[in-house]
Structure 1
Amino acid sequence: MRTIRRILIGASVLLLAAVPLAACSDDDDSATTTTAAERSTTTATAGGGSGQDGEVITASGPVELGVGERVTIELEGNVTTGYSWTIDQQPDAAVVEVVSDRYVGPGDGAAAGQGGHQEVVLEGVAAGTTTLGMGYARPWEEGTPPVQTATFAITVR
């Protein structure tokens, strides 16, 4: 009788220890490696831009704008997974200015854990070319490459 009781207690302890560990697994779909171009887009332009003020860019590619014009880069993300977009390669400040860089959540009434997007607004400063590079990673996982990257070749005319 004591042996069965010990087995049941041991099994219960193992089960209780396994439940929290299962929540820490890395089965999250957002952790898979994809390129920005593989994501679906829901806004005006996928890829390069024509430099129209207020244009929204949703995937890696060339971006063209004039001096004083602004474009917005929006990349889907979900900070509730621990991943976030960061600028890994700053553009040349003499060519383009990063006006803002912020995470925009899904809004009121959204389901818990629902993602939003990173919004980076750029403004042309002077004619020239530069590159903006971004990575989607967990900031505390130093030395681990981003699970997604996005690169924008920027031309200011």
Structure 2
Amino acid sequence: MVRSLFPAALAGPLLAACMGPPADPVTELEGGLLYAGAEQDRGEVAMQVGQTLRIELEGIPTAGYVWEIQDQPDFLELVDEATRPTHPEFQNQPGVTGGNHFMAFDLTATAPGKATLHMVNHRPWEGGEEIGTWRIDITVTPAP
């Protein structure tokens, strides 16, 4: 019996195409702040105890669609939340209301650990359908 290797040869590239491109690496900003946005979805970050990770995702909070942390690892402490307009030159003009905004979450590593941080974009009071999800694998090591 002759077996074709053709299906096996296609399996790897097809699987990779279904998974999408790999996440971009997390950026380190001035002062050691780590930054992750939409491009880091399904990615990973290594941090040390005491470092802060800022996650900034676009939402429509003026329509009730907000990002919320669904699964927060015990070794991360939420220390700040903020929003800013996506197009400040327009959105900050007198009389302009609404529009998309970036929602930022600052999480400081308080202990070593490894887990996945999971966030959802939804209208919390509706208790149902998510319009978006975002995840990142986090590994925290002791500070030197």
TM range, smaller chain: 0.5 to 0.7
Q: 1:49 aligns with which of 6, 10, 26?
A: 26
Deviations 1:69-97 (A, max 9, x none): 112110011112221111111222xx222
Structure 1 alignment gaps of length 5 or more = 1-36, 39-45
Residue 82 of structure 2 corresponds to residue 97 of structure 1:
no
Measured after TM superposition, the shift of residue 50 of structure 1 is 6.3
Measured after TM superposition, the shift of residue 155 of structure 1 is 0.7
Q: Is the 8 A contact 2:27 2:35 kept in 1?
A: no
TM-score, normalising length: structure 1: 0.60
Letter of the aligned partner of 2:132 in structure 1?
Q
Q: 1:151 aligns with which of 126, 135, 141?
A: 135
Letter of the aligned partner of 2:70 in structure 1?
D
- Matches of 2:115 and 2:37 in 1, distance apart? 18
- Matches of 2:62 and 2:106 in 1, distance apart? 23
Deviations 1:3-51 (A, max 9, x none): xxxxxxxxxxxxxxxxxxxxxxxxxxxxxxxxxx99xxxxxxx644266
Cα RMSD (Å) of the superposition? 2.5
TM-score, normalising length: structure 2: 0.65
What is the percentage of aligned positions where both structures have the same residue? Answer: 32
Structure possessing the higher relative contact order (Cα contacts under 8 Å, 6 or more residues apart): 2
Residue 126 of structure 2 corresponds to residue 141 of structure 1:
yes
